[in-house]
């Protein structure tokens, strides 16, 4: 245990236990400033990054325009590979969006204390990843202006949508999730908007004043906020489970070999959690460095997040294996051909990339040193998402190349249009995220302050003693 | 027995196409006839090589045996007009649906191009307009006015020449007589030089098609999927060398 003098001198603390006390030494206004300063000060590198990302997005928008002008033929799709990188990336982004709610709602309900500094970043990730995901069903139509035909609206020609189609479930689920997660993000944001409003001027003041909805921090307001967050946390969990289940049913309800599987829904959900948590860890490592939030995002948080990624990874392996072994023993001729393609055929590089990139990080994250060293954590979680992207590509594109009649087997080559549009959403996500982090307090200040009450220093006689309290 | 109020045509039929694999020589005349009848665009060599041909009938060719005793087997595969069609429930906008005669109807103008039906179809007989289809002169002169010319981004497939079915039905009704067997001929059936294709009513036990369907040689494609197709194949023997 540290000496009181030792603490008082603000010597850098190294052990996780002591790190928790870092904030205990700060006053509320110091915390406010520590969160607000990185938002207000943007360096040269930030604008360089914004420009590069904007250029990639602009190029992607041009590619999309090119696709709209000429037709879906400018992508690498053909018969029978009707869905390719667009749907792969759609599944990927929906997957990424899952961790936000997972972290925020589940951990809030479980009262896991380490969630506090990372909830905002996670919720923002959900919202932006969903926005990127929602672009793909539009893009992949080619004639994007026909999209509204999928929306059930009364019209004089009595045309209705087919609620048997998983694409309609997708539409409903994604819109529900987008609205739900945006509201959830915004609810938890209100007290921080009020805090920011009170500390800035110019256009930011006007913006925050509107967004804070006149928050004053009265007892009644806090009570309502906690109640609303409690309700949202419960309500959004079935939505988040249903969204990726429905995405899996886009595939599983068909009789296409390799897709027609009952385990797809939970397998996709667990895969989404695995890739989403990994993406969150990667993003937090990068944002922490970029915005100098070392004080808030500490090794204890990365340690806990790393453990969660590891557990999700193990669950993914279990579900993958449960699906694979049934297909292997089922020995259906087409599925056998697909498995052969993956293990020893032309899909083998992707298959081994998928397996190694998904399994090696699990082994790495067993070690605490990997979980708590930002660079190592970043490397392993980025690897997970390489693996998960490959997995989705193998499911979508790999399966479609084979089907019941061998004469219809095909292959697929991506084109510059598809790659540009995929790059556009990655850059677009990063762009939205870093702009968001400069406008909205990235660390939920009120949650930190609330959590800080738990780990505090109390003077008992001549000693300063760290104490932990149970708070709601 | 259902009646279609709009057409005032009594409908109690299940259309059936019988494909005799013993007679098929793989000459592709049916494919050409289908292109002409149904305004199916020609996409050119480069696109076709990349698997973007638009043929509604695909003459699948399989090699059997080892050199020098190799046999080419031909199997024309068109939309199987499944009773339990996997393509139908997945379309979000009802662009493909089941009509009272057991046909999978395709509404081109309703299609928004999700291509979900193409993935769901186990026979992969649906084709997609990847680009704006072109009909270079003088092909525009022979476009069939009874069939919609599709634009890009639309799924299409064999319809059993539904325009011919409708026209013959209406003609026979105005003349106040019943349809006779063999009166309706889709373009492929009309063109086939070896009479490998027979079209008729499965529910009429005396029609030639339904008689052939009862042959010991008859089989349906991928019966394990339970799609109950409206196309019946007659097994090929030794003649198809």
Query: Would A34 be classed as within a structural domain?
Result: no
pLDDT for res A103: 81
Tell me how many domains chain A contains: 1
**Domain-embedded: residue A384:** yes
The alpha carbon of residue B131 is apart from the nearest alpha carbon of chain A, in Å, by: 5
Minimum-distance CB partner of B122 among A140, A404, A406: A404
Instruction: State the nearest Cα–Cα gap between B8 and chain A, in angstroms.
Output: 21
Q: If residue A171 lies in a helix (H) or strand (E), which one and from where to where?
A: helix A166-187
- Name every chain B residue with its beta carbon within 8 A of the beta carbon of A407: 58, 60-62, 75, 77
Q: How far away is chain A from the Cα of B218, in angstroms, using its nearest Cα?
A: 18
Contacts of A25 (CB under 8 A, 6+ apart): A7, A8, A10, A457
Q: Is B112 close to A150, i.e. CB distance below 8 A?
A: yes
Is residue A422 within 8 Å of residue A85, measured between CB atoms?
yes
| Residues across chain B | 241
CB pairs under 8 A between A and B: 133
**Residue B73 and residue B240 in contact, taking contact as beta carbons nearer than 8 Å:** yes
Of A77, A167, A400, which has the smallest distance from its Cβ to B92's Cβ? A167
Q: What is the pLDDT of residues A18-52, one digit of tens each?
A: 555 566 667 778 888 878 887 887 788 889 999 99
Whether the predicted pLDDT of B143 surpasses 70: yes
* Nearest C-alpha in A relative to B93: A161
Q: Does a structural domain hold residue A373?
A: yes
| pLDDT higher than 60, residue B172 | yes
The span from the CA of B109 to the CA of B112, in Å, is: 8
**Per the domain annotation, does A77 fall within a domain?**
yes
> Over 70: is that where the pLDDT of B239 sits?
no
Q: Model confidence over B8-21: pLDDT tens digits?
A: 555 678 999 999 99
Average pLDDT over residues B54-79: 91
Residues A202, A196: contact at Cβ < 8 Å? no
Question: Is A20 inside any structural domain?
Answer: no
Tens-digit pLDDT profile for residues A139-177: 999 999 999 999 998 888 888 899 999 999 999 999 999
Residues A122, A284 contacting (CB under 8 angstroms): no
Q: Residues A420, A60: contact at Cβ < 8 Å?
A: yes
Domain residue limits at A245: 40-156+169-468
Distance from CA of A254 to the nearest CA of B (A): 5
- pLDDT given for residue B238 in this prediction: 59
ipTM of predicted complex: 0.90
How confident is the model at residue A21, as a pLDDT? 58
Say whether pLDDT at B90 is over 70: yes
Which residues on adjacent β-strands are paired with residue B127? B156
Q: Is A405 in Cβ contact with B52 (below 8 Å)? A: no
What's the pLDDT at A8? 42
Class in CATH terms, B2-234: alpha beta
The residue among B99 and A472 whose pLDDT is bigger is B99
- Who among A71, A79, A141 is closest to B112 (CB)? A141
The confidence band for B6, taking pLDDT boundaries of 50, 70 and 90, is low
**Tokens of residue B87, six digits:** 């393509």
Cβ–Cβ gap A162/B89 under 8 Å: yes
**Residue A3 belongs to a domain:** no
Among B51, B110, B115, the residue with its CB nearest the CB of A83 is B115
Low-confidence ranges of chain A (pLDDT < 50): 1-14, 16
CB contact under 8 A, B119 and A400: yes
Buried b (16+ CB within 10 A) or exposed e, B129-158: bbbebeeeeeeeeeebeebbebebbbbbbb
Is B90 within 8 Å of A165 when comparing Cβ atoms? Answer: yes
Q: What is the mean pLDDT of residues B151-173?
A: 94
Contacts of A346 (CB under 8 A, 6+ apart): A411
- Calculate how close chain A gets to B100, using CA atoms only, in Å: 18
Mean pLDDT calculated for residue range B74-103: 93
Cβ-Cβ contacts under 8 Å, B221 against chain A: 405
- Residue of A254, A260, A332, A412 best to disrupt the B interface, most CBs of B under 10 A: A254
> CATH no. for residue A409?
1.20.1630.10
Q: Is the confidence at residue B2, as pLDDT, over 50?
A: no
Residues of B in contact with A166 (CB under 8 A): 90, 116
Q: Decide if B118 and A80 are in contact by the 8 Å CB cutoff.
A: yes
pLDDT recorded at residue A10: 43
DSSP string, B49-61: HTT----SSEEEE
> A409: which chain B residues are within 8 Å (Cβ-Cβ)?
none
For residue B68, whether the previous peptide bond is cis, meaning omega lies within 30 degrees of 0, is yes
Mark yes or no for CB contact A165/B92 under 8 Å: yes
Residue A18 has what pLDDT? 56
Please check whether residue A33 lies inside any domain of the structure.
no
Domain segments of chain B as ranges = 2-234
| B69 Cβ contact partners less than 8 Å away, ≥ 6 residues apart | none
Cα dihedral across residues A417, A422, A423, A427: positive or negative: positive
Q: Would A247 be classed as within a structural domain?
A: yes
Question: B236 falls in which pLDDT band (50, 70, 90)?
Answer: confident
């Amino acid at each position: 245990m540290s000496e009181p003098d030792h603490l008082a001198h603000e010597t850098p603390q190294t052990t996780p236990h002591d790190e928790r006390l870092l904030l205990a030494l700060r006053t509320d206004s110091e915390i406010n400033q520590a969160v607000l300063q990185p938002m207000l000060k943007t360096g040269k590198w930030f604008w360089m990054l914004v420009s590069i990302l904007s250029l990639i997005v602009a190029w992607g928008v041009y590619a999309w325009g090119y696709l709209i002008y000429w037709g879906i033929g400018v992508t690498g799709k053909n018969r029978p590979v009707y869905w390719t990188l667009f749907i792969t990336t759609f599944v990927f982004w929906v997957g990424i969006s899952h961790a936000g709610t997972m972290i925020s709602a589940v951990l809030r309900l479980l009262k896991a204390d380490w969630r506090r500094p990372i909830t905002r970043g996670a919720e923002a990730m959900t919202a932006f990843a969903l926005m990127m995901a929602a672009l793909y069903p539009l893009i992949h139509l080619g004639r994007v202006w026909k999209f509204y035909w999928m929306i059930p609206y009364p019209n004089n020609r009595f045309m209705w949508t087919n609620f048997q189609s998983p694409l309609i479930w997708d539409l409903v689920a994604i819109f529900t999730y987008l609205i739900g997660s945006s509201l959830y993000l915004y609810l938890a944001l209100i007290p921080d908007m009020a805090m920011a409003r009170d500390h800035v001027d110019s256009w930011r003041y006007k913006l925050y004043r509107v967004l804070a909805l006149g928050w004053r921090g009265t007892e009644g307001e806090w009570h309502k906020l906690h109640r609303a967050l409690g309700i949202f946390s419960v309500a959004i969990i079935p939505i988040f489970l249903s969204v990726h289940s429905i995405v899996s049913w886009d595939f599983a309800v068909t009789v296409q070999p390799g897709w027609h599987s009952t385990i797809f829904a939970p397998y996709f959900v667990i895969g989404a959690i695995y890739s989403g948590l990994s993406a969150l860890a990667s993003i937090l490592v990068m944002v922490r460095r970029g915005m100098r939030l070392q004080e808030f995002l500490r090794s204890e948080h990365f340690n806990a997040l790393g453990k969660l990624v590891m557990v999700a990874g193990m669950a993914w392996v279990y579900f993958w294996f449960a699906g694979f072994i049934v297909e292997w023993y089922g020995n259906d001729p087409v599925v056998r051909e697909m498995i052969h393609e993956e293990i020893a055929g032309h899909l083998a590089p992707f298959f081994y990339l998928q397996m190694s990139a998904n399994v090696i990080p699990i082994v790495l994250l067993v070690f605490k040193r990997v979980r708590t060293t930002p660079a190592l954590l970043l490397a392993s979680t980025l690897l997970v998402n390489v693996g998960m992207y490959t997995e989705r590509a193998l499911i979508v594109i790999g399966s479609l190349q084979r089907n019941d009649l061998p004469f219809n087997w095909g292959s697929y080559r991506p084109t510059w249009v598809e790659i540009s549009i995929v790059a556009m959403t990655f850059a677009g996500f990063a762009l939205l995220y870093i702009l968001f982090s400069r406008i909205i307090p990235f660390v939920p200040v009120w949650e930190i302050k609330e959590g800080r009450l738990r780990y505090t220093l109390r003077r008992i006689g001549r000693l300063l003693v760290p104490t932990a309290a149970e708070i709601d | 027995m259902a009646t279609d109020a709009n057409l005032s045509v009594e409908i109690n039929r299940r259309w059936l196409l019988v494909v005799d694999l013993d007679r098929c020589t793989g000459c592709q005349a049916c494919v050409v006839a289908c292109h002409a009848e149904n305004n199916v665009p020609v996409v050119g060599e480069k696109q076709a090589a990349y698997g973007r041909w638009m043929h509604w009938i695909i003459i699948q060719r399989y090699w059997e045996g080892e050199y020098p005793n190799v046999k080419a087997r031909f199997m024309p595969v068109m939309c199987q007009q499944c009773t339990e069609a996997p393509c139908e429930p997945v379309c979000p906008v009802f662009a493909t649906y089941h009509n009272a005669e057991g046909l999978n109807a395709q509404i081109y103008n309703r299609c928004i191009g999700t291509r979900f039906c193409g993935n769901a179809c186990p026979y992969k007989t649906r084709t997609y307009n990847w680009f704006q289809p072109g009909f270079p002169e003088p092909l525009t002169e022979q476009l069939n006015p009874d069939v919609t010319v599709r634009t890009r981004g639309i799924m299409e497939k064999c319809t059993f020449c539904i325009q011919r079915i409708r026209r013959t039905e209406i003609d026979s009704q105005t003349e106040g007589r019943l349809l006779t067997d063999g009166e309706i001929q889709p373009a492929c059936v009309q063109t086939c030089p070896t009479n490998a294709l027979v079209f008729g009513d499965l529910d009429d036990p005396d029609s030639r098609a339904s008689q052939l369907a009862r042959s010991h040689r008859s089989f349906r494609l991928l019966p394990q999927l339970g799609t109950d197709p409206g196309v019946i194949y007659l097994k090929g023997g030794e003649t198809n060398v």
